[in-house]
Structure 1
């Protein structure tokens, strides 16, 4: 077994993950890390190792397996505590996980997602109007993340859940604080409490006045089944769906636009019909994964993965951004953005939306939204380009999400 590696301290402020990923991956597919607060953890970086880990029968999601948490060494305001403790399908195993997942899975089948396409297209055009309007008021420059990449998935998941528009920006702001890794403890506690209170208010309103939406359906399932969905599970499920339902797509669209602006030759391939918008989405997911290091899974016993020991109870991160650029899986040009990249022989092109029982439930919706958004964006603004050099874009805060804080663009109607 190789010599023990010095734990890499993950910067709570985040930053672009790719240089860090390459450095760690060059030393092995699994690495020890120091989480905020001095908590010892691990990250799985290699594609094959991560694929094995994500479906390993002796790896769990329930927080009772998290040794440091069980022993009281994790403070209430620890910035990653919500990831570990929020009640819902992301922290459940076995029958509980299947029960919770089944309650919402019907809303995300390929057929149901395809039925949403006309509304997604309508909302896309609406927010493209907003992007153009913002640019006209600011010398031709607008923040694409703020005016387009954020409001589109937020509106889609909001309508699916029946969350009124006046709640959505507040939910995004609070959710961003809850999942950030650099939020101060007192602020994290306050944001989490306010978020739970807001979701409780939404749930109470839906219980009093049910409608044709997923929140009402979840409440009805709870009432009909008695013990099928408790109040905390309801709030946890809403929290998960609202945050995961827009943050991943927000980063995906932002990263895809950045990639295409930085690689105009790849955009030309799409316009020439040599690749489709779905190919752009998949290559972006691989090359610049919207989630870099996702918390947590816990070995239920000591495990050895690719020659590295993962002690039982260790919080382990899924290193999606590293796996996406793993040369062992994607070849010596893994760090090159290529929309014509052929699918792997085993049909696992990337792991950026997960793998196994906890595969991202909203993957079909995220893929459809992103493809629609990109096609309509570049059709309407064929000359769209970044308004600042790529090097000046500030990375997303924290080490969980992977994107930039804003994306100033010039949405030109005609190619220059």
Structure 2
């Protein structure tokens, strides 16, 4: 009698390290286990690549603005020495050409053409358009719920809103929106296999190439046309790869973060009716609800990557030079050392240190004002129209995001009344 060989097992992590779950799960359970090791912890990334995670609020704030911390992948030792395969699921985060993988003058050069589109005045000018989009989408949600009173709010509302807004800013044909979202999800899924990862990246770059070609042939008053002009007429301020890399960043970050933020805020308010009532009664604001969601259930859980350019001590822990480091936004949001013994409690009236969920330092999220505006308008119009909205399924049955970078659920069935 023969038996099948036992499946290969991953080698155990080194003592004191924590293995990140490639397929995702509850980030707050992972964060609790990580924070038990301290505010800075050793982790094992997919592919058995050693890394670190900065989890404490104070330590993360220091790390994000530290002069000896870089984003340029030349500082990633394993990548530089050929130890990271092409199909590694986190490779795009590390290597995409653009502002998220650049430092100093290079970072300022790449950030400049984009920053002009996200000034406070330009973002505020989008409010009427966002309000119209929200109301149109809510009409569609109500229509979808006619059969049994329920609808998937993530698919019908939280997703198409930021996708439409960033699509209009970039001058992307709406026909591309659904494909771009599907490919974005595959690119940020940390548990994907090498073939899936490579295929998703190739497909996403191909679609973005089509977008750039269309805008080059017919320029408009949009960000893609501005990037192409910076490439063609700005003395070489951007090259072809940087244009596409910037578009990739804008598409993925420009809708995934807000999608998760709106989804998480609805979940939080439905689960905490007393907090929802405070806002509905005018005793707190929708902006406060958005900020508390960003702290309590950050739309990005652990963002790749930064690198210490020399051995760097944070607290009592040394971050070795050249290791990839995750920014633990969701862990920092519930760090009791910063937010008190009730850090796990959702409280829209909370006072305390500002969360770090949209970053800090030179790489602070450019789209933060837009994300806040979209989420605030979305929540105000949604609960103003459907104040009795509730989840149609228990929270624990909702499938989590596929990976440890994004933090949300993959569907949000709600009952409108």
TM superposition score normalised by structure 2: 0.96
Q: Which residue of 2 aligns with 1:67?
A: 77
Q: Which residue of 1 aligns with 2:22?
A: 12
2:86, 2:175 → 1: CA distance? 29
Counterparts in 2 of 1:89-108, with a 5 A limit? Answer: 89-108=99-118
1:55, 1:266 → 2: CA distance? 33
**2:376 alignment partner, one of 371, 379, 394:** 371
**2:191 alignment partner, one of 153, 165, 182:** 182
**2:96 alignment partner, one of 75, 86, 90:** 86
CA contact (8 A) 1:199 1:239 kept: yes
Report deviation, 1:394: 1.4
Q: Which residue of 1 aligns with 2:5?
A: none
Q: Which residue of 2 aligns with 1:389?
A: 394
Counterparts in 2 of 1:122-201, with a 5 A limit? Answer: 122-137=132-147, 139-201=148-210
2:71, 2:226 → 1: CA distance? 26
CA contact (8 A) 1:130 1:147 kept: yes
**1:402 alignment partner, one of 398, 407, 413:** 407
Q: Which residue of 2 aligns with 1:113?
A: 123
Uncovered stretches (5+) of structure 2, i.e. residues with no partner: 1-13
Q: Which residue of 1 aligns with 2:320?
A: 311
CA contact (8 A) 2:313 2:319 kept: yes
1:190, 1:404 → 2: CA distance? 24
Alignment RMSD, CA only? 0.9
2:150, 2:194 → 1: CA distance? 36
Uncovered stretches (5+) of structure 1, i.e. residues with no partner: none
Q: Which residue of 2 aligns with 1:265?
A: 274
CA contact (8 A) 2:339 2:352 kept: no
Q: Which residue of 1 aligns with 2:362?
A: 357
CA contact (8 A) 2:24 2:404 kept: yes
Report deviation, 1:218: 1.1
Report deviation, 1:135: 1.2
Other structure's SS at 2:326 match: strand
Other structure's SS at 2:409 match: coil
1:157, 1:5 → 2: CA distance? 44
Deviations 1:254-312 (A, max 9, x none): 00000000000000111121110000000000000000000000001111111111111
Other structure's SS at 2:126 match: helix
1:80, 1:38 → 2: CA distance? 12
Question: How many residues are paired up?
Answer: 404
Report deviation, 1:343: 3.8
Q: Which residue of 1 aligns with 2:65?
A: 55
Counterparts in 2 of 1:249-264, with a 5 A limit? Answer: 249-264=258-273
Report deviation, 1:212: 1.2
2:17, 2:127 → 1: CA distance? 45
1:306, 1:131 → 2: CA distance? 49
Other structure's SS at 2:125 match: helix
Deviations 1:111-133 (A, max 9, x none): 10000000000000111111111
User: Which ranges of 4 or more aligned residues in structure 1 deviate by more than 6 Å?
Assistant: none
Q: Which residue of 2 aligns with 1:246?
A: 255
Report deviation, 1:60: 0.4
2:169, 2:190 → 1: CA distance? 28
Moved more, 214-223 or 274-283: 214-223
Other structure's SS at 2:41 match: strand
2:88, 2:144 → 1: CA distance? 38
Q: Which residue of 1 aligns with 2:8?
A: none
Q: Does 1:296 align with 2:301?
A: no
CA contact (8 A) 2:31 2:331 kept: yes
Other structure's SS at 2:347 match: coil
